Amino acid sequence: MEEKDIINEEIKNEAVEEKLEPQQKENKKKKNKKEQEIEKLNEEIKELNDKYLRTLAEMENFKKRIQQERIQERKYASSQFATQLLIPFDQLDKIVDYPTDNELLKNYLIGFKMIRDQFVQIFEQEGIKEIKALGEMFDANLHHAVEKGNDSEKPNGVILEVFQKGYHYKDRILRPAMVKVNEWSDNNGENK
């Protein structure tokens, strides 16, 4: 009987295996499906994380740009005021250099020169500096040529006369200098 029992046992095992196979196949399919879903979710997580990091970086760049703009705004806040103040200062500068023989007027002019010197000192403290022009080579970034001159004793491009002084405000040009530039030619003794 032992042989019969063994055969019966094998038959039972085969029957059980046959019943289990479809279930195992179905479990494998479910497992594969779950693995695919997990992979898909992991891809989504990576994508969302990437988007998050990009957005975070953009936000940091935006904050830095706004901060830099605020600094620049504060740094140059009074540039418009300085520009307007230069107009009466130019007039004062011209008046104090006015030649006269009248002693009373000379005394007044000495007082005005002191006031002008105080203005210059305050300008320098606030970052307003005069652009050097007379005798310098013409630079289109600093000077505005309004007239040409003909002096064969001086090289071409040298500034002969300053009509209106130019100024820097910190590291920007507040107003370019209005100048007369030397321009001449040796051709036939004629000027350009």
Tens digit of each residue's pLDDT (9 = 90 or more) over 20-31: 566 666 666 667
On the question of pLDDT at 192 being above 80, the answer is no
Instruction: Please say if the pLDDT value at position 11 is more than 80.
Output: no
DSSP state of 159: E
d(CA 4, CA 126): 113
Residue 141: partners with Cβ closer than 8 Å, 6 or more residues away: 173, 176
- What average pLDDT score do residues 150-161 get? 87
The pLDDT score that the predictor gives to residue 163 is 92
Residue 152, pLDDT score: 81
Q: Exposed e or buried b for every residue in 143-162, given b needs 16+ CB within 10 A?
A: bebeeebeeeeeeeebbbeb
Calculate the dihedral angle through the C-alpha atoms of 111, 116, 119, 121, rounding to the nearest 10 degrees: -90
79-189 folds as Nucleotide Exchange Factor Grpe; Chain A, domain 2 (2.30.22)
pLDDT tier at 3 (50, 70, 90 boundaries)? Answer: low
Using DSSP's 3-state secondary structure scheme, residue 17 falls into: helix
Q: What is the mean pLDDT of residues 150-162?
A: 87
The answer to pTM > 0.75 is no
- Which pLDDT score is estimated for 170? 86
pLDDT at 12: 64
Give the full edge-to-edge strand order of the sheet including 128-131.
128-131, 166-169, 172-175
Categorize the per-residue pLDDT at 105 as very low, low, confident or very high, splitting at 50, 70 and 90.
Answer: confident
